[in-house]
Each structure stands twice: as C-alpha cells, then as structure tokens.
A and B are shown apart, each in its own frame.
Chain A
Amino acid sequence: MKIAALGRVAVAAAIASAALAVPALAYDGTNCKEPGVCWEPKPGYPAKNEIKGSKYDPKHDPKEVNKQSASIQAMEERNKKRADNFAKTGKFEYDVSKIGN
C-alpha cells in the first residue's frame, strides 16, 4: 500500500530536517496586494519569482507536468466518439476501435 510507504519515507526526511527549525514567523494572510492575492513569503523563504534555483525549487519536469492535460484531452476525444456513436446508432460501444469514422 502506497500510503504505508509514504509514512516510512517521511520519517527519514523528518529526521534529516528536524534540526533546522527557525523562529515563529509573521505571515498572517491579511496583507493583500490586490483582492484575492494575499500570500507573502515567510521571512527567509523565497518569493514566487525567487524559488527557481533556490533550495526549495520543486524542479518540475515539464514533461511530467503536461501528462495530465494530454491524458484528459485523449479521454475527452474517446468519450466524444462514444457519445456521438451512441446518439447515431442507439447502441453504446465503449471500445473506440470498434467505432467507425
């Protein structure tokens, strides 16, 4: 089970970072730049435009990040074929390879 493994990995990571705690910080969410934009970096932590290259850079891989949208587009295309075919023939076919153009 994945969540079991998550716990064990997390414990190791936790031990590694426990000694690096910093004092309580002041961000309370009320200092807004414009309506709905109220986040501020906590002191000592990077702003949005500073995170790249910092120790907290999530280093997102664009190929991985775009996999979801590609998957959704493909599902929508298959679903459209299924629904169109159902409306046209009155018979539902899930397997799109069996649906003619």
Chain B
Amino acid sequence: MINLRTSVSAFTLAATAAVGLAATTLPAFANDKLVELSKSDANWPMTGKNYSAQNYSPAKQITTENVKQLKPAWAFSTGVLHGHEGTPLVIGDKMFVHTPFPNTTFALDLNEPGKIDWQHKPKQAPTARAVACCDVVNRGLAYWPGTGNGDALILKTQLDGHIVALNAETGAEVWKMENSDIKVGSTLTIAPYVVKDVVLVGSSGAELGVRGYVTAYDVKTGAQKWRAYATGPDEDIKLAKDFNSKNPHYGQFGLGTNKTWEGDAWKIGGGTNWGWYAFDPDTNLFYYGSGNPAPWNETMRPGDNKWTMTIWGRDIDTGEAKFGYQKTPHDEWDYAGVNVMMLSEQKDKQGKLRKLLTHPDRNGIVYTLDREDGTLISADKLDDTVNWVKQVDLKTGIPVRDPEFATRMDHKATEICPSAMGYHNQGHDSYDPEKQLFFMGINHICMDWEPFMLPYRAGQFFVGATLWMYPGPKGDRQGFEGLGQIKAYNAISGKYAWEKMERFAVWGGTLATAGDLVFYGTLDGFIKARNSKTGDLLWKYRLPSGVIGHPMTYTHDGTQYVAIYYGVGGWAGVGLVFDLTDPTAGLGAVGAFKNLQKYTQMGGGVQVFSLNGKNPYDDVNVGEWVGKGG
C-alpha cells in the first residue's frame, strides 16, 4: 500500500511500477537540504512547510484528545503595528520573524525564546507606503541552507521593491537588488521562494497598472537569472516551445499583446504575482498565479487580457512556461488569481494516481489541475452562492458567465458573489494527505460594483471602480457579520466534508496536523483548533490583535509548539488600521468590515503555544543574568 504522506517518493514508486507512465521523470532531488529540512518536525523552513505547500505537519503530540490543554508558552512583540501576514520560519534552534513595513526581520533563539540573536531593520523611503494597495503587509521570508560554511541566507522583500539576502547567522546584508520601482507604483509584499540556488520574487501594484513579472535571482550573487512577464510578446512571457501542447484549447502563442489587448494596454495591464509558490522536484516546474488585469474597469481594456489570472507551471531553471491556464479571462471583478497552490498526489475518479495542483481562487472556484501538463480535472464552487459563473466547462476550461452579474461602464452591478476580495484571498491553506482533505479559510462577501473612467499616470492608482461590500447570503447583512467560513474539501469527490461559518473572513489560512487538528486565526483575534475530521470546535485562545497570517508548528527539545502571528490589517483590516469610515474606501473593504473595530485593535507579534504552556523558561535559570559573584 502506498503511504501518501511521503508524497514524492510514493508517487515515484507508483509511477515506476505502473505500465504506461513512462513519461514520468525521475525525481531531480533538487536542493536536497531544503527538502530534508522540511521533512523534520523540528523545522518549518518555508512558508508552506514543504515544496508542496501543504502547511501540514506529521507532528501529533497535540491531538484532538489533549488540545484543550494548549496554553501560551511564550510570546514576542515585533514592535510593529499593521497587518502581519504569513508565518514565521523555524530552522533548528532559530525562529525567523518578519513584519510589515518597515519590514524588520528578527532571528530568535528558541532555547531562550524572546532573546533576539539579530535584527535587520532596513531604511526605506516612506513613500513606499503611499503606493501600497492594501495596508503595508509582507508575507514572509525564505531560507537558503547554504553550503555548510556559515553561508546560509535569509531572503526577504521590502515594500520599497528590494529583494535582500541576509546572512542567516548574523543578519548582515549580503546583497540587495532592485526588483520593483515604487515611482511607477510597483512594490513588494510577496514572500520570496528558494528553489535550488535561485530565489523567486514576484511583484505587486496591479491597482496602479503595474505589468507583472516573476524573477529568479542567483542566491549567491544576486544576479538575475531570468524574468518572465504575465503580458506582452511570447518572448517576454517566456513560453516554452511545447507551451500548452497538452491543452491547446487554453490558447498558445501570440496572445499576450493585441489579440487579447487593445493597443499597448498590455504594458500597463497588471498580472502581478504577490501570492505563493509551490515546486515539484519531479517536474522541475514551479507553480503560481498571475493576478488581475488593470484597470479594474473592464470597459477600458477590451479583450481576454492574456495572461493575467493564470495558473502557471514554469521550469525553474529557464523560467519557460510549460502550461498556463487562464481562470478568469477578461476579469470584470478583480478576482486576482494569485492564491495558494497546494500540491498533492491522489487517485482521480478513474483510480489513476496523479500529480495534482489545487488552487482556491478569488473567483469562488477551487481548481484542481494535473500539474504535469496543466490539464483541468475539477473546478468546484467554493460556496453554492457563487453567481458570476454558472459553471466551468472542464473540456474547454472556459467559465460560463452569468451576464446578470457582469460589470460595465454606465451600469451599477449588484449582488455579485464573491466580492473583489474573493471567496478566498491570500490565506495559505493546508492539505492533510492522510485524510485527503484541503482545509480552506473562506471569505463570505458579496458586492455592488460601478466602474468609472480615469487616465493612466505611472505611479498613481489605476482602478476605475467603486465597490460596496457586504456579507454573503449566509451572513447577517444588518449586523455585518458572518463574513467568513472554514471548510474541509475533497478535490476528487468535489464534496465538502464539513463547513462552518465565522463572524469575519478567515483571511490568513490554515494549518493541518496529524493530530487530527486544523488550526487557524480569525480577524477578530482568536486562534482556533477544530477536529479536522468533523469540524468540531475544540479549542480557542484570545490573541492581543486580529489574525491575517497562517499558523505553523514545530517541535523543539521534544515539545510540539504551535505559533501564529497576531496583528490585524491587510485589505480586510484597512479601515481599522487607517481609521477610515467611507464604506467605499479601501476599495470597498471599509464597509464590509465596519464592525471589526468592535472586536480587535492593532498589534503585532508572535504567540506560541504548547501543551500546558511548557517552554524553556520552565527551568527558571534559563535566561537569568549571573553576576561575577554568582
């Protein structure tokens, strides 16, 4: 029997044994160190725990039976307010903590938690804040294990557009490169991503007409290896010769310019990527989504707007795209397609073991593709209230739109579900390979939308739509609560094992563990644990501020810890953090979350839990200062 937990090797074994799977390549064993680190319960070396971005830990000291004994172990204030997205990294004895602008990075000693080994506090142009779309968030760090000579690196992004490499032992800057120019509206909020000896970085700023790209830098020197755009000529987009050869109906060549754009609009057409990456050493492809076209006003940009809103599979060495599937052609609702890509190996309905990619999109559809060639396997609604689309035709990949919920100039569209925030946003979700369930934090928000014309000026907002947001049909539209859900989803059956409503959006994502638990934070300031089989709420704890990041877990000196950032903000919290009251401000978020301030206020830090609060300071001598006299 195949143990699906060790997914890569399981798939390889199965593929080798199976007749007719000759095309499956052997594992490349790329960056073995990072792969090995991610297998240990002691480490959380990348934002999604491993290259499959599963946010899943086999650790099971904390279980459904004892989770009620989970108590605070220690905490660390970052000293920074605003939205804390993402999650800390843990490698060995160190926890690496990041913050929103000013993008401070801390290395904490887990043997004496709270003791700061080093901190990196960059000086940045304050004008970066003015061009940030939706609060001044940052989604995390990346770790490069190095060659064993003390040259391991922490890679970070800054809001002012820089990608920076720090010595992981000392925090000293090793190199620093310009990736995005705030003068033309481009910022960086994405967590960088290390594969082999390169670090991937995306870009932000589609709300300012920024043309999106992903770039690979040599971790050792900072030299640019390649750059691939979302729009433009094929050579800019870096399409492989066999691009979409398995699915030519998605479209192939020559579509990034005036076949799907008017004039030079592709040069200011958005398609930034600021979400998450995943990587498969077998296919040598990395996976991510490009975001919304610019401006939001669809009448100003006729055409399918290729290749915004696309799930990409690109070769990590060359940057060339093997496949691209555009989920929302000619977007009319800001359903930016950058959300998490979770990799799994599961048998499809015909019983064939396949390499899958599952992606809960802003547009309210959760897609599962064969990640070897991009073939669409399923496309299910995240909630039965999704209404802009009737269904996705699995044969063509085309969403069959409901014209009633289209947007256009001189028209106010109403009751569109989901809202521009999507039924799922930047939250990093989890996948339990034993249960074959995805645990998804969901927004339950709908909207009215009215476009307006505006000129493009480099470095200025280029949106062109007014939005009013409110709870979806299952929420309380008078009380402005019931704005979120949490769900357990089976991508093969298309069924939900369970689903629960939440007062506010579950913005940050989820963590699954082998203890039959799913953890997540809430905007109103709780961390919660549910039974991952049933959805039953088993434990919760009140945090100093609301949560927009995802929890992680690590084991240190035999104790399993669960850690989570608190610090409300992000797009959902933009009204609270900037004290806005106009319901259409914050691109419509202020109205939807007008009651959030009744439940939480700003803060920023890491809270760590363990059974009975066990922690290194249980030995009262840990961290004590001892004078000369003893």
By a beta-carbon cutoff of 8 Å, the part of chain A in contact with chain B is: 1-4, 6-8, 10-11, 13-14, 16-18, 20-22, 24-30, 32, 34-39, 41-42, 45-48, 51-52, 56, 58-62, 64-69, 71-72, 75-76, 78-80, 82-84, 86-87, 92, 94
Contact = CB atoms under 8 A, between A and B. Distances in A.
Given A58-B300, A67-B458, A68-B458, A17 B408 contact: no
Contact of A29 (B209, B401, B584): B401
B584 A10 contact: yes
Given A6-B587, A37-B260, A67-B458, A25 B268 contact: no
Given A37-B259, A45-B299, A92-B175, A58 B456 contact: yes
Given A10-B452, A10-B465, A92 B403 contact: no
A60 B295 CA distance: 12
A76 B305 CA distance: 26
Contact of B466 (A7, A35, A66): A7
A12 B539 CA distance: 47
A86 B578 CA distance: 41
A13 to B, nearest CB: 3
A87 B455 contact: no
A1 B184 contact: no
The B interface, classified by DSSP as helix, strand, loop or mixed, is loop
A62 B452 contact: no
A76 B178 CA distance: 8
Contacts of B402: 28
Contact of A68 (B177, B184, B255, B299): B184
A57 to B, nearest CB: 9
Nearest to B448: A14
A20 B406 contact: no
25 contacts: A2-B461, A3-B578, A6-B463, A6-B587, A7-B580, A14-B412, A17-B450, A18-B412, A21-B410, A21-B412, A24-B404, A25-B403, A30-B398, A30-B400, A34-B251, A39-B303, A56-B299, A60-B264, A75-B179, A76-B227, A79-B224, A83-B218, A83-B221, A83-B224, A86-B175
A80 B453 CA distance: 39
B94 interface: no
A67 B183 CA distance: 10
A69 B456 contact: no
Contacts of A94: 176
A24 B403 contact: yes
A91 to B, nearest CB: 10
Interface of B: 130-131, 133-134, 173-179, 181, 183-184, 186, 209-211, 213, 218, 221-224, 227, 248-252, 255, 258-265, 267-268, 299-306, 326, 329-330, 390, 393, 396, 398-404, 406, 408-412, 450, 452-453, 455-459, 461, 463, 465-467, 574, 578, 580, 582-587, 590
Given A36-B304, A51-B302, A82-B175, A61 B584 contact: no
Contacts of A13: 450, 452-453, 466
Contacts of B213: 72
Contacts of B255: 36-37
A70 B261 CA distance: 21
B580 A4 contact: yes
Given A17-B410, A48-B262, A82 B401 contact: no
A52 B326 CA distance: 27
A72 B258 CA distance: 22
Nearest to A59: B455
A23 B402 CA distance: 14
Contact of B453 (A30, A34, A52, A58): A58
A33 B583 CA distance: 41
Given A62-B264, A76-B224, 20 more contacts: A3-B134, A3-B585, A7-B584, A10-B452, A13-B452, A14-B412, A22-B408, A28-B390, A29-B330, A35-B251, A37-B255, A41-B302, A56-B409, A58-B301, A64-B457, A68-B186, A71-B181, A76-B227, A80-B224, A83-B223
B299 A32 contact: no
B585 A4 contact: yes
Contact of A79 (B222, B268, B463, B584): B222
Contacts of A37: 251, 255, 259-260, 304
Give me the 8 closest cross-chain CB pairs, A-B, nearest first: A36-B251, A7-B585, A10-B466, A13-B452, A83-B223, A20-B410, A67-B458, A7-B584
